[in-house]
Amino acid sequence: MAKSLVLRESVGLRYFTFFYLYVMQGIPSGFALTAVYNYLVGSGLTAKSVGTFAAIVGLPWTFQFIWGPLIDKFQYSIIGHRKQWVVLTQLVACLASLSLLLVHNPVAQLGLMSGVFFVHSVFASIQDASVDAIAISVVPLAERGRVNAFMRGGYLLGWAVGGAVLAYVLHHGGFRPAALVQSATLLVLTVLTFFIKLDRADRLLPTFGKAGRAAARAHAAALNDDEQNPSLRWLFAELWRAMVERYSLRAFGIIFLAYLASYLFGNAYNYHLIHTLHWADADVSILQGSWGSVAAFALLLGGGVLVDRLGTARLQYWVMAGYAFFLLVFGALAPYWHLRALGFTGLVLMNVADPLLSVAAMPALMAFCRPKIEGSQFTTYMALVNLCGVASSYLNGWLLEITTAPVIGLACGGLMLGLVVAQRRLRPQPALVAQG
């Protein structure tokens, strides 16, 4: 096997691999939560119905605290530690995506469509947990900021394909052709995953029986590894100690609330553009997936370099300060949102803010993770972050019936400003100042 196909031996392969693995995650998310979400709003469904759909799609991502211990419990594999989880869940996610072909009319079959997206999200979330655990174990500390930027950039590109390209297919070809394009793309990328090794001693195919056990022992010896999987009791005990450590608990609380503010206003603003200002839902989807994603991707690459040089705590502070300023100023300009240029600017900046928050926050969360429980700890963090998205989708369905998007924006700006103050008072650990 050529050196270029071994993750631990190639910097370029690490960037490429984690980039396209996150493209795979972004395509279905963009399709469901941008293209289909905006399509349902444009079709006249109530905010509560659309919010419930988005919450159902996102709900499995809040289960990641379950998948993490399972992945860490059975992490050792002759094809690459935790890689077996990635390949298996990618295949099942492709089958779930193909099941979307059963949906002929998304509005009339909302329940069926929501159920299929839910099943897909279950396996996609396990894949995500596995990929994150692999990234923590194979990416050196000095590269984590840039690799996180590529991961988030891949997700944005996937979101652009799912949100803009598939929105175009949805409106001009129908729902089933859009679902078929998504499924074919996921299958091609799954085949690519099969041929990438984590370590040189890894095999492409598993072996079973006595030969399999002998091969596993030889594989572990080649990697200087203990082939014994940890017990669940040890995993949960170590996970609890890691999660309640004082500094990491307070730092994560700030990150959690920052994501909540971001998601709340993002969902409310999209609904406001389509429902109140009567923008075409296809226009919103395509603008988000094109200009919004291009701007975010460009800033992400610069942010990845900055987080490796400045440290995650400092970059996180400035990102949140800029986000608070944007929310307060943009909320105050609500009477002028009907102006196309201003409305478009807000849409692009909303797309930029969330990825920048991620590229600053994710290396910090990775730095908190302890050896052998990387999957459990990081996926617990991500489950709670994903809970923000699910909760905000559901809450917006209720909030928009009693208030407006501008009010939600100003409230989120006030919350973000308070988090900036809290971040400044939080004395960062030396390791987080010096590295991403």
pLDDT tens digits, 394-406: 788 788 888 999 9
| pLDDT the model gives residue 3 | 45
| pLDDT the model gives residue 382 | 82
Instruction: Give the mean pLDDT of 89-94.
Output: 92
Would the pLDDT of 347 be above 70?
yes
| pLDDT the model gives residue 321 | 92
338's CB contacts (< 8 A; 6+ apart) are 277
Residues 170, 36: contact at Cβ < 8 Å? Answer: yes
- Phi and psi dihedrals of 224, rounded to 5? 55, 45
| pLDDT the model gives residue 419 | 94
Determine the residue type at 394.
Y
Among 26-30, 194-198, 306-310, the range scoring the smallest mean pLDDT is: 306-310
Confidence of residue 430 (pLDDT cuts 50, 70, 90): very low
Instruction: Give the mean pLDDT of 157-177.
Output: 90
Would the pLDDT of 351 be above 80?
no
Confidence of residue 206 (pLDDT cuts 50, 70, 90): low
Confidence of residue 229 (pLDDT cuts 50, 70, 90): low
Instruction: Determine the Cα–Cα distance for residues 28 and 274; give it in Å rounded to an integer.
Output: 22
Q: Which two tokens stand for residue 152?
A: 């988030």
Instruction: Give the mean pLDDT of 221-240.
Output: 68
Instruction: Determine the Cα–Cα distance for residues 237 and 239; give it in Å rounded to an integer.
Output: 5
Q: Which two tokens stand for residue 398?
A: 């209720």
3-class SS shares of the chain: helix, strand, coil, % to 5: 85, 0, 15
Provide the domain count of the chain: 1
Would the pLDDT of 180 be above 80?
yes
Confidence of residue 221 (pLDDT cuts 50, 70, 90): low
Q: Please report, rounded to a whole number, the percentage of residues in the chain having pLDDT higher than 90.
A: 30
Would the pLDDT of 73 be above 50?
yes
Would the pLDDT of 132 be above 60?
yes
Confidence of residue 308 (pLDDT cuts 50, 70, 90): low
Among 83-87, 161-165, 341-345, 386-390, the range scoring the smallest mean pLDDT is: 386-390
Confidence of residue 432 (pLDDT cuts 50, 70, 90): very low
Q: Please report, rounded to a whole number, the percentage of residues in the chain having pLDDT higher than 70.
A: 85
| pLDDT the model gives residue 65 | 75
Would the pLDDT of 253 be above 70?
yes
Would the pLDDT of 359 be above 80?
no
Confidence of residue 435 (pLDDT cuts 50, 70, 90): very low
Residues 120, 96: contact at Cβ < 8 Å? Answer: yes
Mean pLDDT of the chain: 82
Instruction: Give the mean pLDDT of 360-374.
Output: 78
Domain holding 396, by residue range, is: 3-434
| pLDDT the model gives residue 24 | 92
Which pairs with CB-CB distance under 8 Å and at least 24 residues apart come from 208-216? 212/78, 215/78, 216/76, 216/78
Confidence of residue 32 (pLDDT cuts 50, 70, 90): very high
Would the pLDDT of 211 be above 70?
no
| pLDDT the model gives residue 148 | 78
140's CB contacts (< 8 A; 6+ apart) are none
Confidence of residue 84 (pLDDT cuts 50, 70, 90): confident
Instruction: Give the mean pLDDT of 216-242.
Output: 67
Bigger pLDDT: 2 or 218? 218
| pLDDT the model gives residue 220 | 52
Residues 48, 267: contact at Cβ < 8 Å? Answer: no
244's CB contacts (< 8 A; 6+ apart) are none
Q: Which CATH number do you get for residue 119?
A: 1.20.1250.20
Convert 269-304 to b/e letters by CB count within 10 Å (16 or more is b).
bbbbbbbeeebebbbbbbbbbbbbbebbbebbeebb
Bigger pLDDT: 48 or 329? 329
Instruction: Determine the Cα–Cα distance for residues 96 and 125; give it in Å rounded to an integer.
Output: 13
Residues found in the chain? 436
Would the pLDDT of 408 be above 60?
yes
Would the pLDDT of 433 be above 50?
no
| pLDDT the model gives residue 113 | 95
Instruction: Give the mean pLDDT of 405-414.
Output: 94
| pLDDT the model gives residue 4 | 46
Instruction: Determine the Cα–Cα distance for residues 304 and 359; give it in Å rounded to an integer.
Output: 6
